Structure formats: C-alpha cells, structure tokens
Amino acid sequence: MQYYSLNGQSPNTSFKDAVIRGIAPDRGLYFPMEIPQLEPEFFENIETLSTEEIAYRAISPFVGDAIPEAELRKIVSEVLDFDFPVVPVDGNLSTLELFHGPTLAFKDVGARFMARCLGYFSKDQDQEVTVLVATSGDTGGAVANGFLGVPGVKVVILYPSGKVSDIQERQLTTLGQNITALEVNGTFDDCQDMVKSAFLDTDITGKRQLTSANSINVARWLPQMFYFLLAYKQTKALGKELVFSVPSGNFGNICAGMMAHRLGMPVHHFVAATNANQVVPDFMATGQYEPKPSVATISNAMDVGDPSNFIRIRKIYGNDFDRLKGHLSSSSFSDDATREAMADVQKRTGYTMDPHGAVGYLGLKKYMEDHPDKLGIFLETAHPIKFLDVMESVFDFEIALPENIKTLMDKQKEFIKIASYADLKVFLMG
C-alpha cells in the first residue's frame, strides 16, 4: 500500500516511511492510495473469527509487505490482549468499553500498535527515532506505556500545564527510561503547534529523525478500526443496524470507524459527540469549517479546537458534504449536561460513565430518539477513575482505584517545564 499526502505536495510513500515520518514533508496527513475492501464472507462469518484474525485481515492491506505476516499477527495479538466488551446500559443504548488496557483509555491499542511497528522498523535503521507527541490527556500515558523500553526510540511528550488530570500526569511523568515529559505553560493547541513547528524546523530534523505518535500517524489511527469490528462481531446476532456514537476530539477514533465502514462493515450511522469544542458540529450545520481556540472542559481529552483528522473524514466521503451528512451527525454538549447525564444514568441504571463516555451517550441518545429501531453503541473511551476530580463532584460514592493506578500514586513525577517553541528547540537540539 502506498500513502499520499492530503496536501498534495509530497511524493507518495510506503507504510513504513509514513509511520517513520508521521506527517508528510508538506505537513499533510498521509492517506492510503486505495481503500481496500474486505470480502462479504468476512462480515458474514465474523462471529467465528478470532480477535487476531479480524485485526490481521483488516490491517494487513494497509501494511502491505512492510511487515511479514507472522510478525504482523504477533503484533496485533499482543496489542489486543485485553477485552473490548459491549455492555447494555440503557434500553437500546449499549456501550463499547475501551478502557481495559494498561493506561485505562482507548489510546492503548493505537499507541501499542505504533510502538511495535516502529520497533520493528527501527531494527534496520542506524539513526535513533524521536517520537514527539502532544497530549490533551490520554495520549501521553498510552504512548509512554506503549514505547517504554523500545530500543532505538526516544519519546518526548508535551502536555499543557494544569490541564490534564492527576492520574493522566502521573502516567506520563513517572516512567523514566526512554520517556521524557515536557510540561508546557499553555494549552493543548499550543503543544500541538510546537510539535508541528518542530517537524518543519530543518535545524532539528537535520539532527534527529522525528516522528509523531498523535493520531495523525497512520499506525496510531488505523488500528482503531479494530474496536468497531469487534463491536460488530459481538452484536451481529441481534440483527439490528448499528449506530456508533464516538466522543471526539482530534477525530481519529471516529475516522477509523468510518474507515471500517468503508472496508465493508455494515453501519447505519455515525455520531460525533463533542464537548463545547464544537467546530465539527458547526461544520455539519453550516458547511463552513472554522477552527477555534480550544476551551477547557471536564472531558479534557477532547479539548481540541482544530481536529487534525477531520480532513481524513472528509476525504473518506470524497469531500462531498451531502454524502458525509448521510453518514455522520454531530452535536455538542456542555459540562453541565455531561454531569447531569453521568448522574442520571448512574441513578437509573447503575452504570458509571466517565465524562467522555457521557458526551458520547448524550450524542447517541439524541440521535436514537428518531431511530428507535437501531442498536446504539457509544464508546466508553476511558475508565472513570482517570477523572477522579470530576467523579467526586458528580457522585457521592468512592470509586475503587485499580491496582496499576495505586502503584502510580506513590511514584515521583519527573518533567521539564517549557514555555515556548524556543525552549522545545533547545531541548531537542541538546
């Protein structure tokens, strides 16, 4: 499979090169030259296929011959070694729980897949690769965990000071080894801008091979297709058409779901649920795409004012607004509405949603009002415990700390403070 840049100014390249570069030299996102099709029998017999088989068959056309079959099978089975259950919550609304991985958020699968691909590729590279990544909350921990100890790879994580939760900060600042955390005096958008500038800075790129582990990297983005396929496998016997509601920030996860749909998976509709950062809901209403500065919310991993992957979603539907509208709805919800939904669902059903999942729930509920015969699935993208302060403000009961989080609480946070791009440059040149 070859990849091209959506900015159209860079040469086409292989999966390997797209993963190592992260972003094309013209700053465009890489996109596959063709969208492969899975055989109808794959979907007809999906309940008889193992997790590894489903994942391997979905991802292998995108990887091509960059990784041999046995190695790729090993990678997907290691990456998917925990559960992704679909759990009924409220009438015809179920949730797909994506938080059973090591850092308790859905980014574990993409981060671990990318780390293993890069680990495989760096075996025959002379130069060390530096993974430079901005996080609004959960990416940092997932990337740190996925890349910890991978030979030939250094990881530098930028996170906005005071805007990630305590557990999120601990997950990315306590590992040491090949992982360095930079605390940025600014917002997530500032972190993301600094990362983008570093990629364009030839002083830095002349010295270090940089790559990105944000969902702009195809090896982070594409494996997220697995979630949707595994949800389809679990619910197919119910014989209902599926609606997926995805709590969205940078729009990588939902974009992967849409890609799974394009591979041939039957899906009735997608809902992109956002917090107050409502660039996409506004776009779906007006057809005008206007990036805005991000605003801080209680679903902080979705505080994104200019979602990187939205351009890929438009591309998947041939940049045709009406066609896109046939597959995607989008709505935005306030923090108050999110808290209310968390309290209401917990009281009526006993199910505890985290703030991100709750935004997904709200988007789904709204859509399902007019589509009661469908099966709605919202993605629970993080374990509620990651947002302890929010949980404590909504619920009057304590949420037990999982074991791996308990040990985190005793570890020393280590980070370097930076305030500007110049500081980042000094660090990367040093």
Interacting residues with ligand PLP (CB under 6 A): 105, 107, 137-138, 215, 247-253, 301-302, 356, 381-382
CA pair distance 4, 310, nearest whole angstrom:
16
Q: Are 9 and 26 in contact (CB under 8 A)?
A: yes
Q: What is the CA radius of gyration of the chain?
A: 20
**Residue 350: how many CA atoms within 13 Å on its side-chain side?**
2
CB of 335 to ligand PLP, least distance (A): 15
Closest contact distance (angstroms) between CB of 257 and ligand PLP is: 10
Q: Distance (Å, rounded) from C-alpha 38 to C-alpha 264?
A: 6
Strands (E), 144-192: 153-160, 179-184
Nearer to ligand PLP, 119 or 252 (CB): 252
| H or E element that contains 346 | helix 335-349
What's the CA dihedral at 234, 226, 254, 36 to 10 degrees? -110
Least Å from the CB of residue 248 to ligand PLP? 4
Spell out a b/e string for 343-352, using b for 16 or more CB atoms within 10 Å of the CB, else e: eebbeeeebb
Q: What phi-psi label fits residue 313: left (phi over 0), alpha (psi between -120 and 50 degrees) or beta?
A: alpha
Please report, as a single letter, which amino acid is at residue 145: N
Nearer to ligand PLP, 64 or 402 (CB): 402
Q: How far is the CB of 397 from ligand PLP (least distance, A)?
A: 21
Dihedral angle computed from the Cα positions of residues 343, 348, 349 and 352, in that order, rounded to the nearest 10 degrees: 10
Per the listing, tokens 């489903």 go with 54
Smallest gap from residue 107 Cβ to ligand PLP (A): 6
Question: What six digits make up the tokens of 316?
Answer: 């998947």
Instruction: Give me the least distance between CB of 254 and ligand PLP, in Å please.
Output: 6
Helices then strands, counting H and E runs in the chain, come out as 20, 14
Whether the CB-CB separation of 369 and 284 falls below 8 Å is answered with: no
Cβ closest to ligand PLP, residue 248 vs residue 294:
248
3-state helix, strand, coil in the chain (%, to 5): 50, 15, 35
Q: Give least dist CB 406 to ligand PLP, A.
A: 21
Compute CA distances 157 → 11, 170, 209, 261, whole Å. 28, 13, 16, 32
Q: Smaller CB distance to ligand PLP: residue 80 or 313?
A: 313
Nearest residue to the partner ligand PLP, using Cβ: 138
Minimal distance, residue 38 CB to ligand PLP, in Å: 22
Please tell me what DSSP assigns to residue 308.
Answer: T
Closest distance to ligand PLP from the beta carbon of 20 (Å) = 22
Closest CA to 313 of 300, 291, 329, 298: 329
Q: Which is nearer to ligand PLP, 209 or 215 (CB)?
A: 215
CB 308 to ligand PLP: min, Å: 8
Cβ atoms of 147 and 179 within 8 Å: the answer is: yes
Q: At 216, list the tokens.
A: 């702009």
